[in-house]
Structure formats: C-alpha cells, structure tokens
C-alpha cells in the first residue's frame, strides 16, 4: 500500500498525458506528474519518490525529498503566520501547516525553528504538522536502552530542569542543565548517552559517558593532553568550564574527576595555576 507522507520505491507502470503512474507490488499506484518525470525513466524502471497531496488534495509523487516524513520528527523553520496557523518550510511544493490547535504554544514569529511531528489528520484527510511532541512519543524499553547506550537526541523543548529530546525518533528524553557544559539550542541533534530509563519510560541522558568507563577515557585524554603540552596544562578546579571544554572537550565535572584519579595514582601534581605531569 502506498502511504501518503512517506517515501516509496515504485515501478513505472503506464504513461498518460498527465505523467507516469508508479505502482507498488500490490498494484496500488500514484501519478508522477510530467514536471517530475526524468528523461531517463522508462516503463518498468524503479524510482524512489515521496508521496504527498497536491494543491487539489490529490496524491502525487515527487522525486524531491522533504525535510520530514510521516510519523517522524524534525526541526523546521516557520515561513508564514496566518489565521489558519503557522506554515513551515518543508521541502515539497507545498508548505506544511501546523494548525493552532496542534501547537504546543502559540507560534508567533516567522524564521523561528520548532521541532515538528508529521501526522495524517483523519478529519481533514490532509498531512499536517504538530508541535505537541510528547503526545507522539513512546515509553523506552528498559531492556534495550541500557546505561551507556549511544542514542540520537533531537532537542524539542527547554524547561527549568533541562532540555527535552526526541530520542531515536521514538522516545522521550531529558538532558539536565547540570549535565550541560556547552551551549545547545532547540532543533539541535546530539549524540548522547543513556543514563537510565525512568519508571515512566522516559530517558535520562548525558552528553558524556559516565561512571568508571568515562573516568578511564577522560584520564587517558588528560594524560595525552599533558604529554602534548610539555607535561603542563594551565587548568585547575577554578578554571571556567568553557576553558576546560575548549582545551579538552570535556565538562568541568569530568575534568575534576579525571584530575582526582590521576592525582591519586601520583601521575600528576597540582600547582597554583595548573597541573603538571610527574616524571
């Protein structure tokens, strides 16, 4: 079955004055308008296309890929604010409408970026977007999302505790402000690590590895940096977090743990304005 709002690989089955009809294995077909028919396409050839509704709400195919497909989430830019709602830059011929009743908060400014979920509205029989992201996220399976697992996190909202994120295009996650050591923004996608799955299935996330594995990798990184800088780094526990991250690409919290681990092993000594390699 050919689904509106998704990409499909279809076979060119018949030619008409309006274009070429593309068909799936079940015999379901959709029109590829003449404007989109490549000169190299012949009947019997396969073609990957995106299926959407044209200006007259008819299903059509296009080779142009959108920024967002059905059931997925992506950061899109507001192109126009109207009495119907907010329109977003999307990719295909039409812009994507996020109606007022599907906005988590009123969208007021053109040019702003919001994370949008693409859905099919049964009432209007149209593709629409929504910024009510949590309603379309699932509880994460605890057996699959074990501590330390690397995941993709799309930041969709900022609150008092931290940034909420869409994890792997399915699950709800949080990166706490206390774990952030560099600027981030809504719509940004980060590679992060699972800390734990909460009882409600939401994920606590961290930008860095944690526990013993993180300390080991951070001490190795710190030792390498010391050896590369004649055994001395002008960094200490009072250094700004930004300076530490710029030099070592680690948070101040992790830096202090790594320094503690190396000091305990007597591999470094602490000086007034920095740390020095012993031996």
Q: What is the mean pLDDT of residues 218-235?
A: 89
Instruction: For CATH 2.40.50.140, list the domain ranges present in the chain.
Output: 7-62, 73-134, 138-206
Query: 211-277: which CATH number, 1.10.10.10, 3.40.50.620, 1.10.1740.10, 3.40.50.300?
Result: 1.10.10.10
Condensed to tens digits (0 to 9), the pLDDT of residues 118-177 reads 999 888 888 999 999 999 999 999 999 999 899 999 999 999 899 999 999 999 999 988
31, β-bridge pairs: 21, 60
9, β-bridge pairs: 48
* Angle, helix 252-264 to helix 211-228, in steps of 10 degrees: 80
Print burial letters for 102-119: b (CB count within 10 Å at least 16), e (below 16): bbbeebeeeeeebbbbbb
Instruction: For CATH 1.10.10.10, list the domain ranges present in the chain.
Output: 211-277
68 neighbors 118 (Cβ within 8 angstroms): yes
73-134 topology per CATH: OB fold (Dihydrolipoamide Acetyltransferase, E2P) (2.40.50)
3-state secondary structure of 241: helix
Residues 6+ apart with CB under 8 A from 262: 219, 222, 223, 268
193 neighbors 151 (Cβ within 8 angstroms): yes
User: Looking at domain 138-206, what is its CATH homologous superfamily?
Assistant: Nucleic acid-binding proteins (2.40.50.140)
Chain centroid to CA 266: 42
Residues 6+ apart with CB under 8 A from 150: 191, 192, 193
How close are the terminal C-alpha atoms of the chain, in Å? 69
Domain 7-62 bears CATH identifier 1.10.1040.50: no
3-state secondary structure of 89: coil
Taking alpha carbons only, the member of 85, 89, 40 closest to residue 66 is 89
Tokens of 110: 């053109």
Condensed to tens digits (0 to 9), the pLDDT of residues 177-213 reads 877 777 889 999 999 999 999 999 999 998 876 654 5
Please say if the pLDDT value at position 216 is more than 60.
no
Condensed to tens digits (0 to 9), the pLDDT of residues 59-114 reads 999 999 999 999 999 999 999 999 999 999 998 667 999 999 999 999 999 999 99
Q: Sign (positive/negative) of CA torsion 83, 84, 89, 93?
A: negative
């Amino acid at each position: 079955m050919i689904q509106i709002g998704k990409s499909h690989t279809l076979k060119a089955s018949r030619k008409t004055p309006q274009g070429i009809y593309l068909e799936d294995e079940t015999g379901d077909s959709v029109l590829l308008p003449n404007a989109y028919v490549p000169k190299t396409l012949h009947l019997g050839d396969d073609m990957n296309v995106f299926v959407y509704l044209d200006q007259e709400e008819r299903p059509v195919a296009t080779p142009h890929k959108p920024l967002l497909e059905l059931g997925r989430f992506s950061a899109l830019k507001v192109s126009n604010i109207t009495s119907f709602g907010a329109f977003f830059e999307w990719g295909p011929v039409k812009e994507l409408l996020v109606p007022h009743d599907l906005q988590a908060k009123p969208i007021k400014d053109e040019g702003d970026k919001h994370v949008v979920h693409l859905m099919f509205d049964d009432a209007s029989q149209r593709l629409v977007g929504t910024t009510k992201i949590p309603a379309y996220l699932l509880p994460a399976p605890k057996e699959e999302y074990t501590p330390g697992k690397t995941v993709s996190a799309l930041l969709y909202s900022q609150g008092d505790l931290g940034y909420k994120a869409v994890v792997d295009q399915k699950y709800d996650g949080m990166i706490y402000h206390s774990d952030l050591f560099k600027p981030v923004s809504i719509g940004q996608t980060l590679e992060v690590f699972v800390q734990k799955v909460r009882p409600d299935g939401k994920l606590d996330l961290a930008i860095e590895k944690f526990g013993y594995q993180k300390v080991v990798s951070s001490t190795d990184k710190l030792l390498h940096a010391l050896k590369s800088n004649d055994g001395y780094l002008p960094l200490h526990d009072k250094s700004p977090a930004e300076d530490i991250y710029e030099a070592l690409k680690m948070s101040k919290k992790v830096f202090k743990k790594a320094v503690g681990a190396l000091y305990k092993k007597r591999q470094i000594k602490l000086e007034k304005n920095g740390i020095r390699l012993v031996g």
